[in-house]
Structure 1
Amino acid sequence: MTQQNEWRASEIVDQLIALGVKPGGVLLVHCSFRSVRPVEGGPPGVIAALRAAIGPEGTLVMPSWSGLDDEPFDPAATPATPDLGIVADTFWRLENVTRSDHPFAFAATGPLAARITSDSLPLPPHAPASPIGRIHELDGQVLLLGVEHDSDTTLHLAELIAKVPYGVPRHCTVLDNGKPIRVDYRENDHCCQNFNLADAWLRREGLQREGQVGHAHARLIRSRDIVRIASDRLARDPLVFLHPIEAGCEECDAARQSAGCAPRSTSGGGQF
């Protein structure tokens, strides 16, 4: 580290390897640059360190969706939603990075990039035939870099595999012969705050490695372990990720209602 507390890319690589990142493996990264910084080279420096840690035979993956339900998605031009952070929005723009051709996009580089990103529009977004599903299929690792499990989209895959009873109405816009078309679907969505329960579950089983990367706290877990542990919990309680009714969480209440587990609301415009 320099005198200005800026981490060198080589130091970040060492930290990633010490954490357990596998050279030659598939690595899905959810990242908060604000937590990691300052890093030599900024966001591209973080990406370079991640690439160096997995090596030329590894495949690096990041979320890259737009979050724009009413605008057609252009993989060559549509920015990633700001919620994903500057590292993710920088990554898809780099040379030799492949991006999904649908609104629920992920971006990837490496030998398995095309396999991970080439599925057509997945509905719901994190179904097995989606980038998240392909990472699970390929026994990839998930790196939560300065973020917690409420950013862990692999848990949505676990919900689908466990056949959770909730699904709220959503839509996206795609191009059909150059014309924008609205596509309606149901998604296993909610506020996701209770995804952080996975921390204790994975720690208890010794399945989550944790340490410092840059200035951030990092978590590293196999995708298959996330899905297995979460699926086991969901088998016992299919609503474990939803806040109780008394918490007053509108997103979780909508998910409960879709499962027939909450009374129909009389407020909020009666949208359900």
Structure 2
Amino acid sequence: MTQREWRISELVNQLLTLGVKPGGVLVVHSSFRSVRPVEGGPAGMIAALRTAIGPEGTLVMPSWSGLDDEPFEPATTSATSDLGILADTFWRLEGVVRSDHPFAFAAAGPLAARITSDPLPLPPHCPPSPIGRIHELDGQVILLGVGHDSNTTLHLAELMSKVPYGVPRHCTIVENGSRVRIAYLENDHCCQNFSLADVWLRRNGLQKEGQIGNAHARLVRSRDIVKIAMEQLAHDPLVFLHPAEVACEECDAARQSIGYGRS
């Protein structure tokens, strides 16, 4: 059965009813496939988000390329397909500002430059990074048709908790006209256990949930995500890793990295 198309005005009402704050900072992680069909397609969904936060609000989306061996060009490098068509549409729009490094976010609104202007953050989601600035600015996080496994703010919580794992990674930048490979350690794993945040946030009444278009959506303050995750990480620094007996390759690599390259 063909689904009806959601009007932009309906999406705006749904966003405001969910609790999106006009004039605030809103970072969006999304699966447009789950939301659609929408009047105007991805651009229509972006228009609804921008209308909901208003001219004093700042809209933010992840915009990294995922290319470790290729330099990032903010004006031309596509966002990785893992981020979805909404994110890859957003950075191309007029008036949108994008970070000048491989772990880019894109933003539009009065605080866009403040959120995106930090130099290369290593690890990628440390406090002086776009996701760290959103936390600093008491922004909201909305998950449209995706779960907390797409919630980058949980990586910020890991770093603020000083988790013991750090998997060797690298990125490539251009410095003085030459390509330079930069090695770093990243708090990386499969992220499936980020779904635990649903339990913690719901238990404390900190997560609003509802329908946006055809998608299930979650809305949470960035600071609440970090606070609740840090409380859990204080009890178990490996809470987001699968136990060894599960044989998850990415989580196993994180476990094996403990102590790697650290003094």
In the TM superposition, what are the counterparts of 1:193-232 in structure 2 within 5 Å? Answer: 193-232=192-231
SS in 2 for 1:207: coil
The runs of at least 4 aligned residues of structure 1 exceeding 4 Å deviation read: none
Tell me by how many angstroms 1:14 deviates: 0.2
Aligned length: 259
Alignment identity in percent? 79
Q: Where does residue 143 of structure 1 map in the other structure?
A: 142
Query: Which position in structure 2 is the counterpart of 1:65?
Result: 64
Which residue is 1:176 aligned to?
Answer: 175
Query: Aligned pair in 2 of structure 1 residues 4, 236: CA closer, same or farther (>3 Å)?
Result: closer
State how far apart, in whole Å, the 1-side matches of 2:11 and 2:228 are.
Answer: 29
Correspondence 1:1-272 to 2 at 5 A: 5-259=4-258
Q: Secondary structure at the match of 1:190?
A: coil
Letter in 1 for 2:44: G
Q: Which residue identity does 1:216 align to in structure 2?
A: A
Quote the offset at 1:52 in angstroms: 0.1
How far apart are 1:34 and its partner, in Å? 0.3
In structure 2, distance between residues paired with 1:26 and 1:33: 20
Structure 1 CA distance for aligned equivalents of residues 81 and 177 of structure 2: 26
* Offset at residue 158 of structure 1 (A): 0.1
TM superposition shift of 1:129: 0.1
Name structure 1 gaps, 5 residues minimum.
262-272
1:200-259: CA deviations, max 9, x gaps? 000000000000000000000000000000000000000000000011101100101112
Distance 1:178 1:250 in 2: 37
Alpha-carbon shift at residue 4 of structure 1 (Å) = 5.1
Amino acid at match of 1:66: S
For 1:111 and 1:15, the matched residues in 2 are separated by 24
Amino acid at match of 2:218: R
Which residue identity does 1:151 align to in structure 2? S
For residues 258 and 79 of structure 1, what CA distance do their matches in structure 2 show?
Answer: 31
Give the aligned residue type for 2:145: G
Name stretches of at least 5 consecutive residues in structure 2 with no aligned partner: none
Separation of aligned partners in 2, 1:180 and 1:109 = 30
Q: Which residue of 2 aligns with 1:266?
A: none
Q: In 1, distance between residues paired with 2:136 and 2:259?
A: 32
Distance (whole Å) between structure 2 residues aligned to residue 85 and residue 260 of structure 1: 34
Deviation at 1:178, TM superposition (A): 2.0
Structure 2 Cα separation of the partners of residues 202 and 216 of structure 1: 19
Deviation at 1:260, TM superposition (A): 5.7
Deviation per residue, 1:169-216 (Å, 9 max, x gap): 000000102211100000000000000000000000000000000000
In angstroms, what is the RMSD of aligned CA positions?
1.1
CA distance in 2, matches of 1:42, 1:243: 37
**Which residue identity is paired with 2:176?**
N
Partner SS for 2:55: coil
TM-score by length of 2: 0.97
Q: Distance in 1 between matches of 2:182 and 2:44?
A: 38
- 2:75 & 2:172 partners in 1: Cα distance? 16
Aligned to 2:113, what secondary structure does the other structure show?
helix
Three-state SS of the structure 2 residue aligned to 1:166 is coil
Q: Distance in 1 between matches of 2:102 and 2:183?
A: 13
Counterpart of 1:187, as a letter, is: E
User: In structure 1, how many angstroms separate the alpha carbons of the residues matched to 2:78 and 2:179?
Assistant: 18
